[in-house]
Amino acid sequence: MPKPKVFVTRLIPAKGLDLIREFCDADVWPDELPPSYEEILRRVRDVEGLVSLLTDKIDAGLMDAGPRLKVLSNMAVGVDNVDVPAATARKLPVGNTPGVLTDATADQTFALLLASARRVVEGEKYVRSGLWVTWGPQLLLGADFVGATLGIVGFGRIGQAVAKRAQGFDLRVIYHDPAAQPAFGASPVDLDTLLHESDFVSVHVPLTSATHHLVNPAFLAKMKPNAILVNTSRGGVLDQSALYDALKSKQIFAAALDVTDPEPLPSTHPLLELENCLIVPHLGSASKHTRDMMSFLAAQNLIAGLKGERLPNCVNPEVYKS
């Protein structure tokens, strides 16, 4: 019996890729840069399964280019790169990788928050550029954690894991998420209260049409002048030109971004000129074990879909209703 053909859009960790290769005839894109849309279009023509990353746009046209497709497996928890309604309309299950990246992303949120509050990157640049001449009583002063308020926007798995870590730092934690129950000592509040009271605001919502540019001029105007904004969700949740204005005019103290729109941010982007904006290249889930597990879950989803079984992690379970 021939193995089902699949296309994997990048060299993913062996934990998942070995499993895929055991069950499938896998065409794996070998380059560091992702395949172009046209390349994916060409390669899905005769495959039954596709493993994509958040860098791949998986739209209706691409689904139609692969008439034999049985499953779309995205190696990410976020699926904003996939047109899920189009997949559902074609009865194509879409898999994602929730849970396994919760802790790594919450850790990264705290790394960014601490680095921004205590001006770690500015300090490092200061030393390397030879500016450090003495201990200074007013040198690079940052924000205190104990007794400060952390506001979490979006209190799902990752937002809650951030709240859990915040307990260890003696932060007061409030959150805004009408769909979530209180946990880890965090109290629910409306968004305006959260923005008015928080010294640190961390965003943990998926990117949808409802959350696109949730962080806009009005949002930023409600934040405290000493506030730090952290975004480890998706770049599109934040209006970057509004953030630039708020940081440049010191309307807020600082921002730390794991994600931008687009990714990568062009090297001439104005945000990169600002000392009070820390930007890293979408590293929220970038730990060895986490990426191993993401690739493994993506492989499990793929193989289940190829076998006609229910995906262990399916974002559109409606496809199973007859």
Residue 101, interface with ligand DGY (CB under 6 A)? yes
Note if 282 is an active site residue: yes
CA distance 122 to 200: 19
> Where does residue 146 rank: exposed (0-12), middle (13-18), buried (19+ CB within 10 A)?
exposed
CA distance 271 to 274: 6
Name which of residues 199 to 228 contact ligand DGY (CB under 6 A).
Answer: none
Residue 238, interface with ligand DGY (CB under 6 A)? no
What is the smallest separation between the CB atom of 84 and ligand DGY, expressed in angstroms?
14
Nearer to ligand DGY, 48 or 258 (CB): 258
Name which of residues 259 to 318 contact ligand DGY (CB under 6 A).
Answer: 282, 284-285
Active-site residue identified among 263, 273, 275, 318: 263
What is the smallest separation between the CB atom of 114 and ligand DGY, expressed in angstroms?
19
Nearer to ligand DGY, 76 or 254 (CB): 76
CA distance 112 to 120: 9
Note if 196 is an active site residue: no
Among 16, 35, 78, 154, binds ligand DGY (CB under 6 A): 78
Nearer to ligand DGY, 149 or 231 (CB): 231
Residue 77, interface with ligand DGY (CB under 6 A)? yes
- CA of residue 79 relative to chain centroid, distance: 10
Q: Give the CA angle between residues 224, 160, 115 to the nearest 5°.
A: 50
Q: Which helix (H) or strand (E) holds 168?
A: helix 157-168
Note if 234 is an active site residue: yes
What number of chain residues touch ligand DGY (CB under 6 A)?
8
Structure tokens at 295: 């690739």
Among 26, 40, 72, 76, binds ligand DGY (CB under 6 A): 76
Report cis status (omega within 30 of 0) of the bond before 264: yes
Of 183, 135, 134, whose CA–CA distance to 158 is shortest? 183
What is the smallest separation between the CB atom of 282 and ligand DGY, expressed in angstroms?
6
Of 68, 59, 64, 61, whose CA–CA distance to 7 is shortest? 68
Known catalytic residues are: 234, 263, 282
